[in-house]
Amino acid sequence: MRYGMSLGVIGCLVVTTAASAVEPVAVQYGKDPKQSLNVYLPAAEAKTPVPVVIWVHGGGWRNGDKDNRGGVNLCQTWAKAGFVVVGLDYRLTPAVVHPAHVEDVAAGIAWVNNNIARHGGDPKRVFLLGHSAGAHLVALVATAAKYLKAHDLSPKSALAGVMAIDTASYDLTTTRSLAVRKMISDAFGDDAKALHDASPLQHARQNPDDCPPFIIAAVKQRPEAVSESKALNAVLPKSILVLVDYPGNGQLAAHSLIAKELADFDKDLTRQLVKFVQETPAAGK
């Protein structure tokens, strides 16, 4: 299928804005209806395997869907730019509690590792992109090796990089926001040991050299997200911290804006993410 398109350039990447939507390939990676993913293919067939971006939505571990308008727009936009993009769903609270969410993310990564080459993707250049609760999940699966180990993988062998966007939940033991604490209690419980085990920051502190490269972003309007982002960045040997300012916006508005702008290649953060995907070496190197 051919598309009408306009062209722009990010680094060496040709960005295509297609007139028609990129339709995904639907896949079940588990038995539950939520254990599903969509594979978005580039509009133009590449001569060599291309990087893969797995999108993990937010929603407080209890809401959200790979098929919502914002997520679909993000996946379509990145696919039109020449990447293979995977929109990943996972089971949600209250139907499940931790560790089901992150176990599903790990299972989705394992499916990608085993199958994405058939769709033109490079299994050695798989990147995670998550916002809010999704940022917590991509950070956790990339720092706590046991979840990928269940699939005979490791974070550094399966993931070339991680893009974690605007979460206040890298350390569940210290989160102060009452609203976030309620969501954490519902999804993870209140046991201190369990919260410690579900905290990416704690795992990163224990095994920093076992983690893939990270780019961590937060909006300046959310002090707790900024604080936790700085703490995670400080312990990771290969990480980039980006703070984004939305003057005149409150915390919730800024939190929503940064997610929306992940589909806009004219925004500085998105351009940095694209550069990160382009320039980060393959997993294991």
Per-residue confidence (pLDDT) for residue 11, from 0 to 100 = 44
What digits encode the pLDDT tens for the residues 216-255? 999 999 999 999 999 999 999 999 999 999 999 999 999 9
Cα–Cα distance for residue pair 105/245, rounded to 1 Å: 30
Query: Using one digit for the tens of pLDDT, what is the confidence trace for 39-49?
Result: 999 987 888 99
Given 3-state DSSP classes, what are the helix, strand and coil percentages for the chain, each rounded to the nearest 5? 40, 20, 40
Q: Average pLDDT, stretch 108-128?
A: 97
In this structure, the dihedral spanned by the alpha carbons of residues 96, 76, 255 and 36, taken in order and rounded to 10 degrees, is: 0
Q: Give the CATH H-level superfamily of domain 22-279.
A: Alpha/Beta hydrolase fold, catalytic domain (3.40.50.1820)
Q: pLDDT confidence of 176, banded at 50, 70, 90?
A: confident
Among the listed residues 76, 164, 150, the one whose alpha carbon sits nearest the alpha carbon of residue 109? 150
> What distance lies between CA 19 and its chain's CA centroid?
26
User: Is the sign of the CA dihedral 160, 40, 48, 263 positive or negative?
Assistant: negative
Domain chopping of the chain, boundaries: 22-279
pLDDT at 2 over 60: no
Taking the C-alpha atoms of residue 252 and residue 53, their distance in angstroms, rounded to an integer, is: 26
- pLDDT of residue 29 exceeding 90: yes
Rounded mean pLDDT of 275-282? Answer: 96
Give the per-residue pLDDT at 68: 94
Q: Which tens digit of pLDDT belongs to each residue from 179-217?
A: 889 999 999 999 999 999 999 999 999 999 999 999 999
E strand intervals along 11-120: 13-18, 25-28, 36-40, 50-56, 84-88
Q: How do beta strands 161-165 and 121-131 pair?
A: parallel
For 4-28, the pLDDT digits (tens) are 223 344 444 444 443 345 689 999 9
Tokens of 25: 């390939």
Q: What is the pLDDT of residue 19?
A: 33
The Cα 122–Cα 113 span in angstroms is 9
At residue 22, the pLDDT reads 64
Q: What confidence score (pLDDT) does residue 271 get?
A: 96
Residue 285's pLDDT band, with cuts at 50, 70 and 90, is low
- Determine what percent of the chain is predicted with pLDDT higher than 90: 87
Q: H or E stretch including 200?
A: helix 200-206
Average pLDDT, the chain: 91
